[in-house]
Amino acid sequence: MTGYTEIEDLAAAHRLAVFGGFHLAPEDGLPGFGTLLMFGPAEPGFWAHMTAQPEWRDGLPDPIDRWSKRILGGIARTSGGRAIHPSDGPPYPPFFRWALRTGRAWSSPVTLLVHDQAGLMLSYRGAVAVPGRVDLPMPPGTSPCKTCADQPCRTACPAGALTAGGYDLATCHDYLDSGPGSACLSSGCAVRRACPISRAYGRLAEQSEYHMRQFHT
């Protein structure tokens, strides 16, 4: 059975990090597998690596998703596992629920997932279900929001679209179409940037801009 360290090393070669995992139960509907590991960008350095990949340069749609499926598919084959991606479906895999089960991601004061390493810049490139109960080196933690005294995410949205009451998608898009909204388009969501952990994560503004423009098309 491929161990955690071996899988972590396979991911690191492609600027991916293990963002947590948990042991599967029969009700998870993944028979034959014992552990689910979730992967996100390893920062700093992910964007430079990503934009040098053939999927980014071939001019075809969805370069990051196609790259993720190639890389995580390879990790799955090496470990005897199965790669799962947020875009698989419908029905779509429950990545939000899975993230909470890792004990390394939590629902933030503005309802977005927050991660102990990526903050509100959290994104999952996919997951790999592997056979057996892989030893997980990091025990479940506690939400960093509990010790974040200022919780700047609560008031960071200039349009008031993302608050503790939820996400107003229409208001967000309307703001992005306005002149002041160009700052969020070029630098990334102001709420995600306000998180202290996000600021220390090392994600480049160019990457945030790409995702924001994809979101706003």
Structure tokens given for 78: 């090496």
Torsion, CA 144, CA 148, CA 154, CA 156, rounded to 10: -100
Query: Which stretches of the chain score pLDDT less than 70?
Result: 1
HSE (side-chain half, CA atoms, 13 Å) at 135: 4
> Can you tell me the distance from the alpha carbon of 39 to that of 89, in angstroms, rounded to the nearest whole number?
19
Pick from 28, 32, 54: nearest CA to 130: 32
Q: Is the dihedral of CA 100, 103, 108, 109 positive or negative?
A: positive
Structure tokens given for 60: 């075809």
Structure tokens given for 79: 């470990």
pLDDT at position 138 is 81
Q: What is the mean pLDDT of the chain?
A: 96
